[in-house]
Chain A
Amino acid sequence: DAGVIQSPRHEVTEMGQEVTLRCKPISGHNSLFWYRQTMMRGLELLIYFNNNVPIDDSGMPEDRFSAKMPNASFSTLKIQPSEPRDSAVYFCASSIGTGEGYTFGSGTRLTVV
Chain B
Amino acid sequence: GNSVTQMEGPVTLSEEAFLTINCTYTATGYPSLFWYVQYPGEGLQLLLKATKADDKGSNKGFEATYRKETTSFHLEKGSVQVSDSAVYFCALSPRRTALIFGKGTTLSVSS
Contact = CB atoms under 8 A, between A and B. Distances in A.
Contact of B98 (A4, A91, A98, A105): A98
B97 A56 contact: yes
Interface in A39-86: 42-43, 45, 48, 55-56
Contacts of A43: 44, 89, 101, 103-104
A42 B43 contact: no
Contacts of B34: 101
B9 to A, nearest CB: 12
A42 B97 contact: no
Contacts of B95: 99
A90 B29 CA distance: 30
B32 A106 contact: no
Given A42-B101, A43-B101, A43-B104, A104 B96 contact: no
Interface in B44-87: 44-46, 49
B93 A104 contact: no
A75 to B, nearest CB: 14
Interface of A: 4, 33, 42-43, 45, 48, 55-56, 91, 93, 98-107
Interface of B: 31-32, 34, 41-46, 49, 89, 93, 95-104
Given A45-B98, A91-B43, 10 more contacts: A4-B43, A42-B102, A42-B103, A45-B100, A48-B98, A93-B43, A98-B96, A99-B32, A103-B46, A106-B43
